[in-house]
């Protein structure tokens, strides 16, 4: 890479510091303009932090934040310390700029992960505490936090204490900070390197003796999550332990924020909505559905409908291929919707309980095999109960015993098939990393419809001796 | 009622107090044994609280709690005060007895409401604070709290303060009580009659000046719920306001408990599971599904399947009645599953978003008409998109243009019908007090299947000039 060589090799040995900085700045600006982020990142590797700071200060505002984010974590903190406090402030403003965010938004997740090192905890805190919660959401990608992770939902509005403080000093600190903090009920103890070393609750603080220090009463065994933890995991953690908040730390165990219980409630509701939508074949957007444009709505739904249509065309094709049977006994056609409809319903029941069980982790300690066998047996029970009823009803409707028995036996077979597929497919999709709620319905329908019609019409051929 | 006359009229004027008490006791025991609760309630009306107390003390243990619950609220508190402290303790034990609870469990909700007045707040607190959370759940019916209400999920483990207390006295009180309290972060201020007059948070207490009183810093405007508030409403309240807890009061505004945020998370998850199960045609039990007996599972599911089967038999009957058309052009039968399948999917999408919108109250401020029209238009879009594809595909499959056009046009009509029914039926069921998640699917299926087949085969008759 030629860019990398510029500051170190291709410049004269006698270049002044000022000239070097100007060179770095102009090269950096050019590379950023070309959106050659990989090149820009490489350019900065051999340069001293103090020179990078100067170069970044000289960049146009849209480029400052991106340039800064291309630095490694260690460099970033040094460069940040070398920036003028007024430039530090400008940098924070840059992190909120929509044109900057648009650039980041266009990168692929892989690119972002490769380009952006973790931000230093100190800088994260400074940045986040000057933003509203909406701004935090918007800038989170630029900070390196992917959607639906702890980094996205955390707030920097927590109170941090030091181990050596007395209880009265801590209470004084809380009094001064309470208005700026999301919760004062959980307090976080950090060392000089911002590493989280303990937590304590306001309850413990209030119950402590005045002569005790924070180190005396804090809990050293605590639960924390990393910035890249999935938000659903964080929610389940808070739910399981009845926490009011959980601390979020970076890879070096430095405290960068907390996630509070009220956010968790919203996340759990959002996740439930997603599950329900997926089961109903609707793609959940982040937005309120009822405010979404109608064409967008139709476009989102048509994908799933088309997948199911494909399923249905296979069914149609199978029926068409068995037309010889139908031509001889047309009344057989009248029972096809009943058979595949009931099969679909049995399959939906099995997949509903299995999918919900997987998502709420109720099923976690059971083997897939046990659950599938259980559902298959339930399907057999249901098939027999319904099959008897249907056989009688079919006989009443058209008076042909062979047709009635064919319908009844087919229903039992289809119910077992449907409940087994309904229980097994969610496990399959879950194990290969797909959302079972979204994926199961079309596949269960396909299995039940296609195999169901084949079972039915072939059984008819055999029983009716066609 | 002759029982009522016994203590006041049919006894000699010279009866001693002791004889009167013995009479009341024996009459009460007899009536309770006969499970004539209405008669027992009437018997006690004219008797003095001190005499009732004596009579109750003399009852067998299984009857004490029930006898006590038949008193009016005012009487109950006076009788309770007149009981020996050892009998007060026995009474609490009686409230936990399974045989007592079984008696209450057998009463109809109407009977319970008629027989059981609200318990005095003081007695509720005493009772509840000596029970584990499971015991509280079990005894809640005897206390007069129906399932899924605030009274069922509240805990008596809160800290109550007095307005006149200084901050330091309040902190001292909290230190002593913290271990027995579910939360110390919200504090409740009550007057001498246990009425809730204010709330304050530990945050405010810690931030107050030592010379201030609780009355100075407490909030007099607060949100509370009654014991009979639906648990889902309580959950939504806590969710909306980001509370950590909400106080529960009786009809006289006396504080009887609090509901905390961790319970709310569990309730919201439970309600989401219920919704998801209902959509999938599974009846949710209170228990973990995977621990339920398989026959119970099958029995619960078969009800819903039978309803849907009835739907399907109607479809079969309709197809059978149109057999003349099918006999002439057998290939028409091959497209029936495709048409009603796609219609069902379009209907499921519309009903899913509408049902979830109703349940999360996202839809609350929109008129049903607006939402239904919106869905109908979305259905038309979807129908046209899919109809074009299907027409082409049907032509490729069987080469008859008239049949292909019939299939395509039918699909458009069915999609509009399905999305309209899918949006309208949840509103209808919701407005007449049924759970839309549970009721919608069978009815949408019926409308789509039956009307869909009729549209399709009649259109075929017309287009193909059969």
Rounded CA-CA distance A437/A417 in Å is 19
Is B370 a member of any domain?
yes
What six digits make up the tokens of A148? 């639906």
Give the structural domain span for B72. 2-144
Task: Identify whether residues B456 and B358 lie together within a single domain.
Answer: yes
Nearest-Cα distance to chain A for B462, in Å, is: 21
> What pLDDT is attached to residue A6?
47
Nearest chain B Cα to A375, which residue? B294
Is B149 a member of any domain?
no
Task: Identify whether residues A301 and A434 lie together within a single domain.
Answer: yes
Contact A330 B330 (CB under 8 A): yes
Helix count (H) and strand count (E) of chain B? Answer: 24, 6
| Structure-token match 């003081």, residue found | B122
Is B284 a member of any domain?
no
Q: What is the DSSP string of A208-277?
A: S-TT-BHHHHSBS----EETTSBHHHHHHHHHHHT-SEEEEE-TT-BEEEEEEHHHHHHHHHHHHHHHHH
| Residue of B236, B259, B257, B233 lying closest to B246 (CA atoms) | B259
Task: Identify whether residues B239 and B299 lie together within a single domain.
Answer: no
Helix axes A98-106, A85-96, angle to 10 degrees: 60
Is B228 a member of any domain?
yes
Is A342 a member of any domain?
yes
Kindly provide the b/e burial profile for residues A260-277, where b requires at least 16 CB atoms within 10 angstroms of the residue's own CB. Answer: bbbbbbebbbbbbbbbbb
Q: Which residues from A are below 8 Å from B349, CB to CB?
A: 280-282, 301, 304-305
Rounded CA-CA distance B252/B120 in Å is 10
Is A297 a member of any domain?
yes
Contact A337 B342 (CB under 8 A): no
Task: Identify whether residues B121 and B170 lie together within a single domain.
Answer: no
Q: Any idea what the Cα angle at residue B437 is, between residues B434 and B440, rounded to 5°? A: 80
Rounded CA-CA distance A197/A180 in Å is 22
Q: Which residues from A are below 8 Å from B374, CB to CB?
A: 290, 294
Residues 6+ apart with CB under 8 A from A24: A6, A7, A43, A44, A47, A51, A52, A55
Task: Identify whether residues B368 and B431 lie together within a single domain.
Answer: yes
Q: Which helix (H) or strand (E) holds B150?
A: helix B150-153
Torsion sign, CA atoms A454, B300, B346, A360:
negative
| Residue of A50, A57, A140 lying closest to A104 (CA atoms) | A140
Q: Any idea what the Cα angle at residue B297 is, between residues B296 and B300, rounded to 5°? A: 85
Rounded CA-CA distance A452/A447 in Å is 8
Q: Which helix (H) or strand (E) holds B200?
A: strand B196-201
In chain B, what is the greatest distance between 2 CA atoms, to the nearest angstrom? 107
Task: Identify whether residues B71 and B195 lie together within a single domain.
Answer: no
Task: Identify whether residues A437 and A304 lie together within a single domain.
Answer: yes
- Tens of pLDDT along B317-354? 888 888 888 888 888 988 998 898 899 889 988 888 88
Q: Are B196 and B247 in contact (CB under 8 A)?
A: yes
Contact B206 A178 (CB under 8 A): yes
End-of-domain residue from the set B111, B144, B177: B144
Task: Identify whether residues A6 and A75 lie together within a single domain.
Answer: yes
Nearest-Cα distance to chain B for A175, in Å, is: 5
Task: Identify whether residues A331 and A437 lie together within a single domain.
Answer: yes
Q: Are B437 and B278 in contact (CB under 8 A)?
A: yes
- Tens of pLDDT along A372-402? 998 999 999 999 999 999 999 999 988 899 9
Q: Which residues from B are below 8 Å from A290, CB to CB?
A: 353, 357, 362-363, 366, 371, 374
End-of-domain residue from the set A242, A260, A278: A260
pLDDT in tens, chain A (466 residues): 444 444 554 555 677 878 888 888 888 888 888 888 888 888 888 888 888 888 888 888 888 888 888 888 888 888 888 888 888 888 888 888 888 888 888 888 788 888 888 888 888 888 888 888 778 877 888 888 888 899 988 988 899 999 999 998 998 898 888 777 888 889 999 999 899 999 999 988 888 887 899 999 999 999 999 999 999 899 989 988 889 999 999 999 999 999 999 888 888 888 888 888 877 777 665 556 666 777 777 777 888 888 888 888 888 888 888 888 888 888 898 899 889 889 988 998 888 888 888 887 777 767 889 889 989 999 999 999 999 999 999 999 888 999 999 999 999 999 999 999 999 999 998 888 888 877 787 788 888 988 999 999 999 999 988 7
Is B14 a member of any domain?
yes
Q: Is the ipTM of this complex over 0.85?
A: no
Task: Identify whether residues A319 and A410 lie together within a single domain.
Answer: yes
Task: Identify whether residues A88 and A64 lie together within a single domain.
Answer: yes
What's the total number of domains in chain A?
A: 3
Residues 6+ apart with CB under 8 A from A79: A49, A52, A53, A56, A68, A71
End-of-domain residue from the set A87, A109, A144: A144
Task: Identify whether residues B319 and B434 lie together within a single domain.
Answer: yes
The CATH number linked to B372 is 1.10.357.20
CB-closest option in A279, A330, A449 to B280: A279
Is A268 a member of any domain?
no
The CATH number linked to B191 is 3.10.580.10
């Amino acid at each position: 890479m030629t860019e990398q060589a510029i500051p170190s090799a291709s410049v004269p040995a006698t270049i002044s510091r000022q000239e070097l900085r100007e060179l770095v700045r102009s090269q950096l600006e050019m590379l950023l303009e070309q959106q050659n982020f990989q090149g820009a990142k490489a350019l900065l590797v051999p340069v001293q932090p103090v020179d990078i700071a100067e170069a970044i200060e000289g960049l146009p505002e849209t480029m400052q934040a991106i340039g800064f984010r291309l630095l490694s974590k260690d460099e970033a903190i040094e460069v940040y310390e070398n920036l003028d406090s007024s430039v530090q402030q400008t940098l924070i403003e840059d992190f909120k700029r929509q044109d900057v965010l648009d650039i980041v938004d266009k990168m692929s997740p892989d690119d972002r992960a490769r380009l952006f090192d973790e931000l230093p905890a100190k800088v994260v805190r400074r940045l986040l505490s000057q933003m509203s919660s909406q701004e935090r959401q918007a800038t989170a990608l630029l900070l390196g936090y992917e959607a639906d992770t702890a980094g996205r939902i955390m707030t920097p509005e927590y109170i941090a204490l030091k181990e050596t403080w007395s209880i009265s000093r801590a209470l004084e600190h809380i009094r001064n900070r309470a208005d700026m903090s999301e919760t004062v009920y959980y307090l976080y103890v950090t060392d000089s390197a911002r590493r989280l070393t303990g937590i304590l609750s306001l309850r413990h603080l209030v119950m402590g003796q005045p002569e005790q220090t924070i180190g005396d009463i804090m809990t050293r065994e605590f639960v924390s999550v990393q910035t890249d933890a999935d938000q659903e995991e964080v929610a389940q953690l808070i739910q399981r332990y009845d926490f009011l908040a959980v601390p979020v730390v970076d890879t070096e165990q430095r405290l960068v924020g907390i996630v509070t219980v009220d956010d968790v409630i919203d996340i759990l509701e959002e996740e439930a909505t997603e599950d329900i939508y997926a089961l109903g074949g609707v793609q959940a957007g982040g937005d309120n559905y009822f405010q979404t444009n109608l064409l967008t709505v139709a476009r989102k739904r048509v994908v799933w409908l088309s997948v199911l249509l494909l399923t249905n065309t296979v069914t149609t094709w199978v029926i068409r291929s068995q037309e010889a049977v139908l031509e001889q006994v047309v009344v057989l056609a009248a029972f096809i919707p009943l058979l595949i409809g009931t099969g679909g319903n049995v399959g939906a029941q099995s997949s509903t309980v299995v999918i919900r069980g997987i998502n709420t982790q109720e099923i976690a300690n059971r083997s897939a095999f046990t659950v599938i066998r259980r559902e298959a047996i339930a399907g057999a029970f249901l098939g027999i109960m319904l099959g008897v009823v249907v056989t009688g009803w079919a006989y009443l409707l058209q008076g042909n015993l062979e047709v009635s028995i064919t319908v009844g036996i087919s229903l039992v077979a289809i119910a077992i098939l449907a409940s087994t597929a309904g229980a097994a497919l969610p496990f399959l999709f879950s194990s290969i990393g797909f959302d079972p709620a979204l994926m199961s319905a079309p596949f269960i329908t396909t299995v039940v419809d296609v195999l169901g019609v084949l079972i039915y019409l072939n059984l008819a051929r055999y029983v009716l001796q066609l």
